[in-house]
Amino acid sequence: MCDFGRHDHPSTSLGAGHSKDYGFIVDTPEIRDLINETQRLMREIADPSARVEALRPAFSKLLSADGWLPKEYSEPDLTSGMGGGIGQYALYRAEDGSLCLFSLVIPAGAETPIHDHLAWGLIGVYRGVQDETVYRRLDDGADEAKAQLEVARRQTVKRGEFYTLLPPLDDIHYVKTASATPSVSIHLLANDTACVTRHRFDAASGIVTAFRSGYSNAKCADRLP
């Protein structure tokens, strides 16, 4: 497994004056409202597609609110193992790995590798502008080291706009900042995204590499895959 971007930064202390890697790493009313609503819908709605639809108003509310994201979690991470100054900052993590909320900061002109998420969820732009390229997989996935991809669509995502993930639909993509300033996107996903083993894709060669991206501000527990 290639630990693309996996690195163990010290946890950042916020609010309560102590460090932590799970729970409300950033504790604000806006984040609590979204997480509480997400957990309620996870209990009450079994179908992921219906659940994601029901989450749209709460997620949109978070994206439109100002002042809840700490400055240090909206800036590039120049020491990130992801390269390119891309920062991935945990805001909330369920201890059982069932849910996470994080900010992803991509400097102007930088882009992520092509990657998957392996969880349903919502991704939206909080600051800046992002260009997203989504791929569909043409092979059956029998060979874990190879994949045949084609571009499914391209879209430009501006502040307050968001899209859904419902694997395998739309789960493979890459994102590039299209604004003159770093873009900040907010991810609400039904796993502990930065700490699970996912896949990095090379569209030209078809090579697939396993990786864990890691958080810039929280550690991954060894018990997680």
Please name the residues in contact with 220: beta carbons below 8 A apart, sequence gap of 6 or more.
6, 8, 192, 194, 195, 212, 214
Q: What is the pLDDT of residue 4?
A: 41
Please say whether the beta carbons of 14 and 222 come within 8 A: no
Q: How far is CA 172 from CA 33, 56, 115, 182, in A?
A: 29, 21, 5, 22
Count of CA atoms in the C-beta half-sphere (13 A) of 99: 17
The mean per-residue pLDDT over the stretch 59-74 comes to 97
pLDDT band at 73 (very low <50, low <70, confident <90, very high): very high
Is pLDDT at 18 greater than 90 in this prediction? no
Closest by Cα among 2, 20, 4 to 88: 4
Q: So what's the pLDDT on residue 79?
A: 78
Q: What share of the chain is helix, strand, coil (3-state, %, to 5)?
A: 15, 30, 50
How much is the mean pLDDT over the chain?
90
Q: What is the mean pLDDT of residues 131-153?
A: 95
User: What's the distance, CA 34 to chain centroid?
Assistant: 16
Domain 23-211 has CATH 2.60.120.10: yes
Q: Is the pLDDT of residue 157 over 90?
A: yes
Could you give the CA distance from residue 52 to residue 49 in angstroms, rounded to a whole number? 5
* Cβ–Cβ under 8 Å, residues 218 and 87: no
pLDDT at 222: 67
Domain ranges of the chain: 23-211
The H or E element containing residue 156 is: strand 149-157
pLDDT digits (tens, 9 = 90+) for 195-210: 999 999 999 999 999 9
What percent of the chain lies above the pLDDT cut of 90?
Answer: 81
Average pLDDT, stretch 215-223?
Answer: 84
Share of the chain above pLDDT 70, in %: 89
pLDDT digits (tens, 9 = 90+) for 118-130: 999 999 999 999 9
pLDDT for 97 beyond 90:
yes
pLDDT at 81: 61
Under the banding of pLDDT at 50, 70 and 90, the label for residue 84 is confident
